[in-house]
Structure 1
Amino acid sequence: MTQATPQPAVPEIDQRAVEALLWTALPHAKGHRLVLVHGRYRDGAPGEFTTRLVKDTAADGEVEQYRVHVSHQSSVLGIVDAWQNHLAQHPGGSRGDVLVVTTDAPDTRPMPLDLRGQAIGRSLLAVDRVEIVKQRFGAIDVDARIRRQPWLADALLAAEPPGGWLPVGSVLTLDAAMRALVHARIGLGDGVSTDAVPLDAEALLTWSRTPGGPARFAELQPEERAGLTDWLERVVGDVAPLLLALVQEGRGSDAMALGVVAAALTGPQATAEAALAVGALFGSGPFRPDVLRHYTRAVEGVLARWITQATAGGPRSTEARTRVLEVLEQADRLADRAGLRESLADSGFLPSGFRTRLRALATTLTPRPDQKTVKAAEAALNQVSSHHLANLLFPEQVQLAEMAVRLQRWLTTPKTDLPSGAGAVNAAVHAHLGDWGWADRALNRLWAGDGAMDPHVNEAYRVIHEAARARRDHLDRQFATALATWTQHATTTQPEGALLVEDVLQHIAAPLATQRPPLILLLDGMSSAVATQLGEELGAPRWTEAAPEAGRRAAAVAAIPSITTVSRATLLTGGLTTGGQNIEKDGFVAFWRKRRHEAVLFHKADLPGPAGHRLAPEIVTAIAGDGVVGVVLNTIDDALDHGQESSKGDWTVGSVRYLSELLDAARGQGRPVVLVADHGHVLDRTTQGPLPAHGVESARWRIGPPNEEPGDDEVHLAGPRVLEGGGSITTLWREDQRYTPRKAGYHGGASLAEMTVPVLVLLPSAETLPPGWSVLSPEAVTPPWWHHDGSRAGAAAAPQPATTSRPAAKKTPPRPDDAPTPLTLGAKVVDTGVYAAQKQFVRKGPEKKAVAAVIDALVTADGTLSLAAVSAAAASSGGRAPRNAEFFVAALQRLLNVEGYPVLGLIDAGARVRLDITLLKDQFGVKA
């Protein structure tokens, strides 16, 4: 018995398949209106519809419309009957009406010849779904791999959007088809095959949190889900199958949070119990430990990029912040549910991990530190600051921790006693501006405590604060003793080596005026602590700082008592005097007129401009002119007097009213700027009421009875520089005492913070540097202990302007027996394939030799340099210094921060660059 030949499966046809056949066949129909198709028309598909197509033989762009009638028949007689009925219903041979007959008849050979003659192609047409797909994408050829996946053509036909598929070019590749499909089916990607919008782990993980997308994936047929999973695994990596398995189980919204929790498998607290708990959270699936570790790394990389977006500002920062917090809140809940809190205690992403690291730092702080404890504190601080949420959620707590560690470093520096005799006061005010005032800045910040109110951390800060405060009190006591002796004899003509406040204009401003008349900004009450903060913000690359002495800023001694009516008038008139604004204005003009310069001085009431103008037109005009301009800014002094001083003691350029606008105006006119105080101040740190005393004139000084001995916290000052009390007053030297009711801060006393007058000189360019002066790099004016790389603080200082030109030294050619020079870490990094891949995404990036030089300079400096030093390092490679240091560092970040990991970043409000050397080696696969 002969075995029957198996019949091929009858394909199911829908409206899209019919339309695709018609668009191929109708242009060649030659008036025929019958289409015979082998297949079964899908139940529920429309029996009549309209389609439009561009006619090949018509004029360019002409469109013709057809009414299509579809009938399914299972026999030859049925086909004949359907055609006859169609002719009867649509007489006249209208070619606008087309009949499509689908049939699953096993044998159509008996079909009448005249009926075959009426059919397009005179035969039964077969449905080739891949050919239909090719046509729907406007392609000429199709990737053979598409034919090897039978489900794919059906899926593409079913998923075609209402406007049709976007054209893909001459060849429909598998990747182009899959990208279009995943976008149409589940909302992943953009549906366009382009490198501009990568389909990667970040895109997949982001998609897992979208509304509807994961649910649409779970609703697909098993064969299509498997096909999409296989392709996404090839394109995205091992993240795809694990993530899609979670999505299929309805857990897509938890997928990223689970990746954070899975870090319990690799952390220092990892245990077998933790592994079981993580496995229970993930449930069944391809969740081997190595797959989970890879998945965790991918999730953390995406979170790191989102955190970078959130902290960078801009239109996407709020959205990124929300995504990060949602994921981490979910992770916290999952960790609690699984009992994994202890295993994740040191997590670099969970807020609880930050608190654990901060508490670990607190255990390293001690009032009697040594190099070992300092090293431990620095390591703990690095852990705190490297937590991924440090800058996003806890910037103030990180800054507070940095201040505590800085004070611990300061306490390890050798104790310095003031020299006796002449020069003691001068040495003290310079030491205060260059070193001890930085400690004041840290003390002011530490006083506020930890905003998180962790008692263990707060207690550690209190202990370190008291130890540093005791050392500062010792220095203030020594200074007060030296000041009392110095005041008896010091005069303007015999200052015993000190720069006096009345000489600032003569010795600082006048030399600048020989190049370009300066803008003199007097910040009433600016202490050394405030000056150091403003100096950091105003440093390179925007301004070039300079001073008459190489390596240090100028520091003057205030008049006595250190109050506004005495010291400010003395500074602005260039001579010891007292008085108000009229005396200051007249004296300022007279001082400069003697030196053949026109001048004008503005006070607080002169500054506001009319509607639409921040500054008064008179000030703008004066700065644009050729005379010396002085401006008194009272923001700091007013804040102290009215109780508005921040408990942190922070003062930025933006928080001093009009300072930013005045600096911009000066820079626009090429003017140098002298930023100077008339006296400093101390913040209110008193814990008791006012001291009972006789003859109180102000919060910090009094006129005591004759022959009265000063108290332990006081000093008696008498001499030609004392302009109140008939030349004899009693002042407080200890910061935490006062004579009057409480305010935010005080001045008039004899502490270093009150008597030191900081002077900062800012040049718009080094070309306006007066003869004999020096440019100051950030490293030169920052004490070594302020940064953990302080031992190398001067190693990478910005280059000084050359005073003479010398011919370049001739290079000695290497001898044949010379050993090859070992490659530096920077050279190794820029020669890796990873760097080459990163370079493709940075248009017009810096040269490899400049990048290598910067890496090596940062390595030499233990990972941290100022922006100016980074620019100098780039220039040292043989090229020019970057025009804009911030843009240069941004380019370096795009090159070095592989997968969003923070290899290179900015710290200290963008003033310094930090390189994570260990992470650099790991990301680029190099060794030292």
Structure 2
Amino acid sequence: MGTTVPELDQRVLTGLLSTRLTRTKGRRLVLVHGKYADGPEEFTVPVADGERRKVRVTHTTSVLGLTDAWQAHLNAVGTDLLVVTTDVRGEQLSLDLLGEMVRSQVIAVDEADIVRQLFGAADLDPRMRRDPWLWLPTALISAEPVDGWPQRGAVLTLDAAMRALVGVRLGLESVFDEGVSVDVDALLAWSRTPGGPERFAALPEAEQQGIADWLAQSAGEAAPLLLRLALNGRGAEATALGVLASVMTGDAASADAAVALGTLFGMVGFRPSELRAYARAVEGTLTRWIGEAAGRGPQSEQARQQVLDVLAQADRLADSAHLTAELADNPFLPSGFQARLHRFAEVLSEGPQAAQTAWEHVREHRLAAVFWPQRVELARMAVRLRHWLDTPQPVLSSVDQAVHAHVADWGWVDRALAHLWVGGADAEPELARAYRTVHEAARRRRAALDEAFAAELGPWTQHAGTAESGRAQLVEDVLRRVAVKLAAPGKRPPLVLVLDGMNSAVAAQLGEELTGAGRWSELAAGGRRAAFVAMVPSVPVISRATLLCGQPAMGGEEVEKEGFAAFWRQHQRTACLFHKSDIAGSAGHPLDPRLVAAIASDAVVGVVLNALAESLDHGQQSALADWTVNKVKYLPELLNSARGQGRPVVLVSAHGHVLDRTGPGTPLLAAEGVEAARWRTGTAAAEGEVVLAGPRVLENRGRVTVPWSEEIRYSPRKAGYHGGASLAEMTVPVLVLAPSADSAPAGWSELPRESIQPSWWEADHGQSPPPDAGVTQPTKNTATAKPNTRPPEGERTTDEAVEVPAVGADPVQSATLPTLGRQVVDTKIYGRQGVFVRMAPPRKAVAAVIDHLDAAGGTLSLPAVLAAFIAAGGRKNTKADGLVTQLTRLLNVEGYEIVSLIDSRTRVRLNRETLREQFELPRGNEGST
């Protein structure tokens, strides 16, 4: 017999006996080759059908000792089976002992066979009986959970055995199932669990190495380094250290950074490739965590906290190792986000392109969209203002041109200014200074426009009326020009929502939200949003009464209700108007039943919403920079009710508002005849004021003094004001929303997003502005010098300024080559594709769609694509979805996705490179627009 015998513990003996006792035939003695150590002398073991047998274990090294043990066992009471571990050879035993022994021999322990039995497997992966896996059976026996191993039934593979072992040793029971991957995600989460790394560190060295080798194959090269960190007591910092490891993966990696990183890693030896793999794995895990944090609910909140905790830890470690500067460009670290904002602040004054590039770098930080979207959006607003400031100085040519330009362009400037004013206060000092510089420059330019508008408004007001308005649309004409068109016979009448105080900036934001993701279609005549001029002074008691009565009027709720009903009686419609006290329903019903019933009827319904006006009087400034639909009380419920009844919606205001941008200590303007915050009866105009008189003025016998400057107020400070003569207060924007474009009146069409937003607003796409949907936008991008001699007011039009090409117009093309669209439709390949399309659209119209998509950088909204198609001769009754279906059949050659719908099926994308390849066109820019 050799001098060494295997050491056996209770688990090994239990496994051995479980496989042998079914064949004992009543025998009560088991001799096992080995030495029993560190275990209880008595325990029970399972046998067939859930039965258990009581076992006593002893160890002896001689035949005499064995005989004594057997005799003592025979005399004992209550013990079923004697197990003797020994190094005695079988040939040394007497016949009487052999007769009592199970299998009449000393049993050698086959740990691999025990493992097979423990897993209920018919066979075992043969690798588990050979190097380098000889340690595995021992480990599996030792690690067996209380309720046993999962039963396999067939062959226990090496991979299944390792999954089971890792699941128990690392506390990752979820990996028991073969369908669950053992990845770095799970290991990083394990490294942060209390006691997890310590359990691994307590394992035998051979088992540690074997688990690390297997995880390197199944979870990737990052796994061994993670385990070594755990063994060195750095498991809780493993994820944070992986973030810092990126300092060695870039081109700027330095020797000093390598030394600092080695110190942080506890001088753990690693190969550069291993470190890069670890950094990539950690970044992938963080990316998934950030994706989970973007959702809602407790799990998302937990993911948010987990991400912030890890990255805050990483920033602390970087600071301790003096690596913060080296990691300034890291896309995960909060300090990296701050560094990007710092760079953005430095270049914001340099010009729009430098600011654009720096902002895109801020936006690309992995935490930006989920954790700091407001800060990213604020920076974006600053960039937008820089783009606007880079356009030629806009000019005014008439009141009509000015209010339309304000809706189409300058109101968007006001939107960005409002965000920057109220949102930049809590920014870091350097960033706040940069924002203030841009804000002040844009405000000066906007103030010049308000001053020029006041100069036009003065003479215009003296004679302006419905008959003589110099082409300008008046607030009393909103119902006649807009709502009446929607209430044509056979159509569902409109819901007229008056949002008190809504200016063009708020209208821009609400319109963007309401028409996003295909929620509502915005309709208009003439291809642009309507703009009307408020009464003077621009206050509800005058301008709102005038709007709802359809003629100049003054009064409160009763005047408005009577005037609204009377106007619609003239158009053979019943109508009812609801104010604040008429809207709220009872518990469980957000809207009053009478209002719900009215919307369900055939009457024209009007509702006055005061949320914005009340915020001006009582709210915080921060609330006035970001007007979403849900912030307007009752607006979501009213919109849903209208959609449910198939009604179009007219969202309008009787006047706009300006925000208070003065400091708390700014004194009031001392003036005579003060009647309200923004108008007075005194006749002497000071700087920033204008005297207005004429039929548009219903106060003080037709003559008032009002400020055009947003800085002037006559009453105690509030969040904002109305009543003055600024563009924001005098412009009345109108949004016409419909459940679908099918309800558009004759001569109206759906407005593509591209025709609503100024080109500078979305300059971050880095592409040419898309063609406009038939809109003359006099101040978008260019302006003309104001002529010294002008025609009479009534004869002036917006044509004095430069027009943007309309959708359907031929895009600019090469003098020698046709456009990209024409090249495509002229190919034989296109001809073959057309054979399979029933009632194929005109080639000219398809070419126009391709060219407009090409000019827009490859993407356009559905309405813009449809507008381009119809303008080029396509069938006018074509549906947008149907057109895209035809385009995919014509252009998606051999199944390649050349044309597709994106952004929840609201935008069309053209893959121009694939288009050229599939239609065998020249590469580069030849022939493209």
CA distance change for structure 1 residues 394 and 874 in 2, over 3 Å: closer, same or farther? farther
2:161 aligns with 177
Range with greater deviation from structure 2 (75-84 or 863-872): 863-872
> Which one of 384, 394, 405 corresponds to residue 362 of structure 2?
384
Whether the 8 Å CA contact 2:655–2:731 is kept in 1: the answer is yes
How far off is 1:660 after superposition? Answer: 1.4
Whether the 8 Å CA contact 2:824–2:830 is kept in 1: the answer is no
1:27 aligns with 22
Aligned-partner Cα distance in 2 for 1:868–1:326: 45
Whether the 8 Å CA contact 1:694–1:702 is kept in 2: the answer is yes
Whether the 8 Å CA contact 1:189–1:199 is kept in 2: the answer is no
SS at match of 1:541: helix
How much identity, in percent, do the aligned residues show?
53
5+ unaligned residues in a row in structure 1: which ranges? 1-5, 56-62, 92-96, 803-808, 819-855, 882-903, 918-926
| One-letter amino acid of the counterpart of residue 529, structure 1 | A
1:835 aligns with none
| One-letter amino acid of the counterpart of residue 29, structure 1 | T
Matched, 1:151 2:135: yes
1:885 aligns with none
CA distance change for structure 1 residues 118 and 867 in 2, over 3 Å: closer, same or farther? farther
Whether the 8 Å CA contact 1:545–1:775 is kept in 2: the answer is yes
SS at match of 2:90: coil
Matched, 1:467 2:441: yes
- Please show how residues 102-501 of structure 1 align to structure 2 within 5 Å: 102-148=84-130, 149-188=133-172, 190-195=174-179, 197-267=180-250, 270-366=253-349, 373-419=351-397, 424-448=398-422, 450-501=424-475
How far off is 1:541 after superposition? Answer: 2.6
Aligned-partner Cα distance in 2 for 1:865–1:773: 20
Aligned-partner Cα distance in 2 for 1:533–1:182: 54
1:836 aligns with none
Aligned-partner Cα distance in 2 for 1:295–1:673: 56
1:84 aligns with 71
Range with greater deviation from structure 2 (331-340 or 247-256): 331-340
SS at match of 2:631: coil
Partner deviation per Cα, 1:217-270 (whole Å, 9 max, x = no partner): 111111111111111111111211211111111111122222222333345764
Partner deviation per Cα, 1:750-778 (whole Å, 9 max, x = no partner): 11100111111111122322222111122
1:519 aligns with 495
CA distance change for structure 1 residues 659 and 751 in 2, over 3 Å: closer, same or farther? same
SS at match of 1:551: coil
2:893 aligns with none
How far off is 1:467 after superposition? Answer: 1.2
1:739 aligns with 714
How far off is 1:599 after superposition? Answer: 2.0
Matched, 1:13 2:8: yes
Whether the 8 Å CA contact 1:186–1:217 is kept in 2: the answer is yes
Query: TM-score, length-normalised on structure 2?
Result: 0.82
- Please show how residues 676-755 of structure 1 align to structure 2 within 5 Å: 676-687=652-663, 688-705=666-683, 708=684, 710-755=685-730
CA distance change for structure 1 residues 531 and 628 in 2, over 3 Å: closer, same or farther? same
> Which one of 42, 47, 61 corresponds to residue 53 of structure 1?
47
- Please show how residues 534-613 of structure 1 align to structure 2 within 5 Å: 534-613=510-589
Q: Say how many residue pairs are matched.
A: 821
Whether the 8 Å CA contact 1:35–1:98 is kept in 2: the answer is no
Whether the 8 Å CA contact 1:717–1:729 is kept in 2: the answer is yes
Query: TM-score, length-normalised on structure 1?
Result: 0.82
How far off is 1:441 after superposition? Answer: 0.7
Aligned-partner Cα distance in 1 for 2:621–2:182: 51
| One-letter amino acid of the counterpart of residue 229, structure 1 | A
Whether the 8 Å CA contact 2:502–2:657 is kept in 1: the answer is yes
How far off is 1:644 after superposition? Answer: 3.5
Whether the 8 Å CA contact 2:529–2:734 is kept in 1: the answer is yes
1:641 aligns with 617
Aligned-partner Cα distance in 1 for 2:767–2:309: 42
How far off is 1:866 after superposition? Answer: 6.7
SS at match of 2:59: strand
SS at match of 2:182: coil
| One-letter amino acid of the counterpart of residue 657, structure 1 | K
How far off is 1:363 after superposition? Answer: 2.1
1:853 aligns with none
SS at match of 1:532: helix
CA distance change for structure 1 residues 20 and 115 in 2, over 3 Å: closer, same or farther? same
Partner deviation per Cα, 1:253-294 (whole Å, 9 max, x = no partner): 122222222333345764322222222222333323333233
1:776 aligns with 751
Range with greater deviation from structure 2 (340-349 or 31-40): 31-40
2:506 aligns with 530
Whether the 8 Å CA contact 2:750–2:863 is kept in 1: the answer is no
Partner deviation per Cα, 1:845-889 (whole Å, 9 max, x = no partner): xxxxxxxxxxx99998569877988999998774899xxxxxxxx
| One-letter amino acid of the counterpart of residue 473, structure 2 | L
SS at match of 1:72: strand
SS at match of 2:121: coil
After superposition, the CA RMSD in angstroms is: 3.6
1:503 aligns with 477
Whether the 8 Å CA contact 2:522–2:736 is kept in 1: the answer is yes
How far off is 1:36 after superposition? Answer: 3.0
Whether the 8 Å CA contact 2:123–2:155 is kept in 1: the answer is yes
CA distance change for structure 1 residues 877 and 525 in 2, over 3 Å: closer, same or farther? closer
> Which one of 618, 622, 629 corresponds to residue 653 of structure 1?
629
